[in-house]
Amino acid sequence: MKPAQLANQSSSWFGAEGPGWDIVISSRVRLARNLADYEFLSCLTPGRQQEILDKLSEAILSLSLGDEVYFMDVDRAATLERQLLTERHLISRQHAAGKGPRGVVVSAKESFTAMINEEDHLRMQVYAAGFNLGDCWKRINAIDDMIEQKVRYAYSERWGYLTACPTNVGTGIRVSVMLHLPALKMTGQIEKFVTAARDADLAVRGLFGEGTDALGDFYQLSNQVTLGVREEDVVRELSDNIVPRIVDYEKAARQVLLEQKPHTLDDKIQRALGVLKSACLISSQEALYLLSSVRLGVNLGRVPNLSLTTINELFLLTQPAHLQLRAGKMLDADQRDALRAQIIRQKLANN
């Protein structure tokens, strides 16, 4: 399978329905693992890195995951293809920009992805639409066990799973949710949320993880601590305690807006929809902001005849590499802005 083939399709977790998906767009659990018989990547020759790539991809491709899986050679992929994989959250920006033998195994529905030779030998993620961390954990834990029957992980009785960066050592787990918090933003409470999250040792990031800004009211929230904790506890703390509280705050803020500033709210939503339906040029950043407002409107029942799925799909498909692979050629910024506007207009006109 070539990455370009993904440019027109939505993924099973981004833009799909799931529990509580009005506020929690998606859930993710990631595990970092390394092979026992190899040093960390920075100490290996390309030849040894290739060995790891072969060994791990073979092991993972042989598993029965209940969904077709395929391998993509990231090192040999074109720049645009690597960018597309990043836009779909199948690989990290670091993996796209990296060097040497490296790849990714992806399941057809894109709910499972395993980066090989990113920072660690193996970084696996399971995604789910909506608020579904328990399910993600169950699935990735099972996959982890299956892989462990085929390869030997670097593991220390004292430290747990060993990782290239000490921030991942121990469980190697990162549990995260992608949140849509427009009402906390509009009511000026978002900074409070960010501060509280950081005080609780959680990381708050933008749509594309580490080092990216929160655009369009989307926030990725994840645990920071991996050492001296049990995986189940990390998952449970976020799943049962932290995320439900944030969801409640966002819901309360939405209620306040509905009751106290219905005109201002409708104005923001309807203007966003009006611009999306009529613009002839639109940047990806502006699209993100406007789609965010419309998404809020759909969730609050202020935009009849428009589905959340359509909005979520537009987030995915209007990204730069998606546009260019769809068009089958490189496009400059103006051309991308024109094509993006055209796709959005068409999609919204049909709804």
Residues in contact with a copy of itself by CB under 8 A are 263-264, 266-267, 270-271, 273-275, 277-281, 334, 338, 341
Q: Nearest distance from residue 308's CB to a copy of itself, in Å?
A: 20
**Could you tell me which of 294, 345, 313, 21 has the C-alpha nearest to residue 182?**
294
Rounded Cα distance, 33 and 123, in Å: 6
Closest to 259 measured CA to CA, from 183, 192, 174, 318: 183
Alpha helices in the chain (DSSP H): 46-61, 79-87, 93-97, 133-148, 182-186, 190-199, 231-236, 243-260, 262-278, 284-299, 308-317, 320-327, 333-349
Contacts 24+ apart (CB under 8 A), 234-243: 234/171, 234/173, 234/175, 235/29, 235/133, 235/134, 235/137, 235/173, 235/175, 238/133, 238/175, 238/177, 238/202, 239/131, 239/133, 239/134, 242/197, 242/200, 242/202, 243/24, 243/131, 243/133, 243/177, 243/179
Residue 156's beta-bridge partner residues? 160
Return the biggest CA–CA distance within the chain.
Answer: 64
| H helix or E strand, kind and range, residue 218 | strand 218-223
